[in-house]
Structure 1
Amino acid sequence: MTEPRKPIDIGNGPTTQDSLAPDAMDQVPAGVIRVDRGDVICAANAPALRMLGRTAEEVIGAPISAFVHGEDFPTVVAFERAEEPTIVRFLGASGALSMLVSLARLPEAPGADAQTILTMLPADGLVSEIASLRKDETRWKYALESALEGVWDHDFETGNLFYSSTWRRLRGLADDAEVDGTLHKWIENVHPDDRAHVLACIERQDSGEVQFNTFQYRERHADGRWVWIESRGASVAYGPDGKPCRIIGTDTDITARKEAEARLAEVSRRLQLALDISRIGVFEHNLDTGVSHWDEAMFRMYGLDPAGQAPSSAGWESVLHPDDKAAAIRRVNDAIVSGTPFNNAFRIIRPDGAVRHIRSNAAFHTDLDGATRLVGANWDVTDDIALQEELRRAKSFAEARNCELEAARVSIEYNALHDHLTDLPNRRYLDRVLTEARVVNAILHIDLDRFKQINDTLGHQAGDAMLVHAASVLSSHAGSDDFIARIGGDEFVIVCRSGRDSTELAELAGRIIQAFRRPVPYAGQLCRLGASIGVALDGGRLTHPRQLLMDADIALYRAKSLGRDRFELFSDEMQNQILTAKRIGDELREALERRQFIPYYQPQFDARTLEITGVETLVRWNHPHRGVLAPMQFLKVAEDINLLAAIDRMVVEMAHADFGVWQRRGLAVPKISVNISSRRLRDPQLVSDLREMKIPHGVMSFELLESIFLDEFEDEVAETIAALNDLGIDIEIDDFGTGHASIIGLLKLNPARLKIDRALVGPVTQNSKQQKLVRAIIDIGHSLNIKVVAEGVETWAHAALLADIGCDVLQGYALAKPMSRQDFEKFAQGGFSVPRSLSEARRMR
């Protein structure tokens, strides 16, 4: 007994040739056709013949291609490698028939040909249904794509995760881009702030809590930006546990909508902020129903409770001030009749009794339901009304005082342009005149002489009186068309508008100077002023007035430098001299920086032994182009530009350094003297500089011009001299005999030596009176224990005579000229010869 055959498998499982014998094939409910290697039909069961409407004789032995639609035959040929059944059209007796076909290849038995089994089931209804489904699918596909809806399908049973091309494009992906739809991977692209919300929504749907789920979130676009996604998902299939096993949904890019919502929210926020800041209340009144809506600002403005009764037109009318009620209501009614926008102003009485002033603007509009509404805004202008009232009162007060203010303005302007003491125009007024004037004939710049002494000795009141006197003098001598101004301190300016020549200007300046020479009585004393004047004449050159003022200032400077109490007329030569002085000044500053100033030394000799008792240090300028220059060629300019103190400092330092070298070399130079300017003597840095140099006592002396001192010299000078004495630095009076210092002055100063001026020494050999004068000076010095130095000793006759009358020290060209450091060192070492005795000097005399 043979083993019963296994059931027929019409799928793709293994099938043996024995299992598909003709009698077995007839038992299969589906159509079965067996085809050999040559695609020839070997056998066909009864269902297959019925489906084809053919007999066995027509089918068996015929090629399979005779019964397959030509367009589908390639599918059958390729079907040997297919894993799924497919639809194939067969050619039956009554036309084409659609069959669902599966195919299996029979294992090859030894000595037998390979065969293929085709299993067929009718599929016309299935094809129609598939076609309909495909049509519906195409329709929904186009609808979703036109709506920019991305479709996703999560089948958790099969693990198939589907994403449409639109779904990919929403995220900036290519249509064929591979997508990892696993939750842990996908959630990485969700915005960190949205992940918790998204996971919570997914959990609700995965748990079966909701069938349909919608949520919004931000997801990272392929280009790096965030896009807003609205996701809608529906559960379409459920597992045995009741949880969804398949969810299908759509994603929509709502970024533009979110941005519009954000802009709208921002606009609303700004509008609300503006309303809050402006304290404007907004209302809306339905004219058809009589219902009104107020915002919170309206309730606050009217002092009402928002939780109370809804506002109405009757309620609004009830709070109107009795004096404004009729006009306010009439204004509203007229606007309702005309239907035009309107504004209103009225007062209200709030429940707390406060009266407030209200302004209102309103307009009409018809809403979507056709209702007519009155929309408007109210704002409280009580503070503005109070301010306006205050302004009206202030305006009345201002108008009442307008004349007084105008007078004050005129007075202020006058005071701003005039000197309060002399009542003359001031510098500001002068600047305006010079700016507005096209041409000025001439300018006189006047500076008062000796004004400072009067002001310092008699007080500021005396100084003020002198300035008033000066203004009177100038006003009495200037022409009626001339402009007179006090421009500061003791300086005045006369601007001559009418034509004057140089002669007339000289006469005017001379008269003014003569007038100032007359003594001025004040407090029982006679004050003597003077005037120095600089005159600048345009002379038809059309010089700018400001330049003319500068020229007058230059001329004034020249007048003061030539002795004061005079006038000078500006000229081109004067201008050139100023430019030359400026050039020299610039060179002096550079020379100071480059240490071009050098000391020259002139020996001083004992009048009896002719031994060197010291040297006088004299400054020279080692000019890089003009050679060594004497002081007279640069000291005046140096004084004008305040460089004397710096030059003195440099010379003292260099002389001290040279003296130290001489001491180390054993040269017999007992001491050195250095000329010091009055400006350096008043320099607060002088004493500290000398203290740092650590000069030994008694080896240095400062020569001070007699003109520095009066009988009562300044306290600061006296303190400086006392400090110099403490440092062991002697004081010498230079150029004594010019008449500035008295015997009392010498007693106060107590100098170590005084030098007789060369103007007195020169005539002593020829003039007996001059001899007596010099002898008297020597006697006075000796009586005060002061050594006497005669400078300007030009001949040996001078030397012998001065020695005979008691002079202590001699200095002059007869003995030695000023010389450089190198030449002096040779001289001191015996390189030069001098008479060895006074008898020899007398014989030469």
Structure 2
Amino acid sequence: MAKPPGSTSIAVREAGREPFYRRLFARSGFGFAALDADGRIVDANAVFLKSFGVSSLSQLPSFEACVSTKDRPVLAVALRARLSEQAPWEIRFQRPDGVEFWVLASFIEPPALPDERGTPALIVQAIDIDERKRNTLELAERESRWNHALESAGQGVWDHDFAHGDLFYSRQWRTIRGLQPDDPIEASLDAWIQTVHPDDRSHVLAQIARQESGEAPFSVFSYRERHRDGHWVWIESRGAVVEYGPDGKPSRIAGTDTDITERKEAEERLAQMSRRLELALDVSQIGVFDVNLRTSDVRWDDRMVEMYGLTEEPDSTTWERALHPEDRRKAAAKVSDGIFRSRDFANEFRIIRGDGEIRHIRGRAAPYVDTTGIPHLVGANWDVTDDVQLQEELKHARDLAEARNDELEAARARIEYTALHDHLTGLPNRRYLDATIEEAAQTAQQAGSRLAVLHIDLDRFKEINDTLGHLAGDQMLVHAARILGELKGPSDFVARIGGDEFVFLSTGAGGRNLSALAEAIVTAMRKPVTFNGHICRFGASVGIASQSGAAIDAKQLLVNADLALYRAKNRGRSRHEFFTSDFQAQIIVNKQTADDILSGIEQRRFLPWYQPQFCARSLDMVGVETLARCDHPTRGILTPDTFLKIAEDLDCVAMIDRIVLERSLADFAGWQKSGLGIGKISANISSKRLHDPELAHSLRTLGIAPGSLSFELLESIFLDDCDRTVLENLAEMRKLGIDIEIDDFGTGHASIVSLMKLSPRRLKIDRQLVKPVSRSPGQRKLVGTIVEIGRSLNIEVVAEGVETPAHVAIMRDLGCDILQGYALARPMPAAAIPGFIERQEWRAHGGTARDLQNDIRRAISR
């Protein structure tokens, strides 16, 4: 009968002597267990019990049950082995809760000692190697997984160990280049670089140099390399420094090479496809759009912008605002439904272009989600106005063909009416007007009577249209048409020629007062109109032209009336103007002047002239004021009063200012180099240029030396127009070292607070205040007050318009810092400046002025 577990240990203890193996168990740091012949655990030390998470021997099962089922076959082999053949075995133990752990197990058959009873059949020594074993297995798994991943990804591994002269290239690295595993590899850079495409060699060598020098610890670059069979393969190389030598330079660099030939070819195919698609879109005139449904940001291509007649960048409301009011709800609902159902859809609607033209649009769109998870709506629009009109005409023609003869005649009349009338107001349209005015001109020529044209344009119509919508605008047009119809006589003709423009044609106008008619139109248009509870006010400007007898030219009449209308609008609107021969002559002159200005800008005929400025005390020349001039090829040097107004209409004053400024800076640099002693130059700057957001950037490109340039601002500019852009430009000027001067001071409405806020370097007293100082004590007192204001604010004072020696003396006596005027020097070209300074002619006026100064003082004191 088998002995119960632990009986031997009890017998030994009863004998009064502890067995040897127990003493061994107690002194060892390893786990030990004693097994009987049946494989049961009869004894174990504390280390062994702790490894299983138990505190007593009774909590352990049989030894076989302590071993993981995965390793029990290994256990059977280990137990059968002879003692001389045994070696430690790596096996997994299993705790009572099922958790496995690795141990290094040794199985020992203890010798039977003569003086000990109950010797165990087998002793098991277990060393815990779980953490080490698991790390080893995990490392092996990772290495295997990494190798498989690199191979499956088609990446070839390379490793350059410069410290040991070891260069490693993986099987896949060789496969990419068509090499066999045992093919030799040329390690020389000079030899290998010959296999790289000639266009890529310099790029590759630069990348390798950056990597080997340590400049780039990690690099990625692509290049072409010749395959063994002769074709080129695209390779993407990724490398990283993994070790550094004692000198701090890379000693080992490793990385991967990937064959990206297919990707490159796909990119080229995609680029070709994109080019073909772009060409197809150009030819078909299809516009493409993309809407970010999360942020409502929109992107329209150029064809979309052109199709909708936009003059500014589209935003999230552009499309709905462009929709025809009658189609808006249906078209918007179609889009909302397509987005909600997340499927593509078609849409048809009308738009009102930026120029007021109505067009028919057809489109398709589809929602999608991009790679970042953001929902979009992408689609295309194309203009089908011609197709719609053609379909409508074909349908109409088919209906007419099927109708009875009298219905056919009525339909023809309706078509003719539609073709000749405005659909909104019912008035004749431009086509009808062209036919009518030609007929009226022929009649008037034959009868020797007068024919008059009144061109009418509604004022403030756009504001009503923009604020209250197109429906309000349409109602205003209908109202205007009604007024003109009420004022129309039996022989008169009224047409709407587009937008908010009308033409009133008065035949036989000899007996009708055209001025009274125009005034009646202007007065009637001023009366307020109610729309949906809103009071709408607008007006009308009228241009009038008339001719009589054989001189009548219908087309010229329309042109002349349009020019008169332009004049009426420029003179304040809500008024009428007649076209006259003087007006025509002025138009011709203005047109020639405009042509001269544009050609002058192109041929750089604009140039600076300079009026010297002098120290009031020493009469030394301290600077010059730059004045714009035009060197006309036939009319000579022109002053700004001959071209400035038209240049403003052409919006090219800023260009002229820049040309003059650049040339004056070049002249100033030459004077500085010649040592003429001119301390600074000053130049006028327009209000419009001060509002230019690009002004600061333009000035930075000129390389202006600090303190060499002053900009003169009109008093009204710095008080009235100091918006954010102006303030930013003024601040940037100060950063560039450009001084600010106030021009024509005393003629506007400047305040001390305004001067303190702007803090100019100097102010110029207007010539209108300087001129009377020699004969008016009150005027001298006023100018003296201005000088005192400048001194108290640490602002230099410049007196312009110093035209007589008396002016020189008085303004010096009043404390002005700088003098400028004809008494000392007139404006002159740059070439005259050196000779003028050399002659010092102005000093004679200075001497005369000092004598006169004493006379004036004596006269004042009497």
TM-score bucket of the superposed structures, by smaller chain:
0.3 to 0.5
Q: What is the TM-score with the length of structure 2 in the denominator?
A: 0.43
Larger radius of gyration: 1
Q: What is the TM-score with the length of structure 1 in the denominator?
A: 0.44
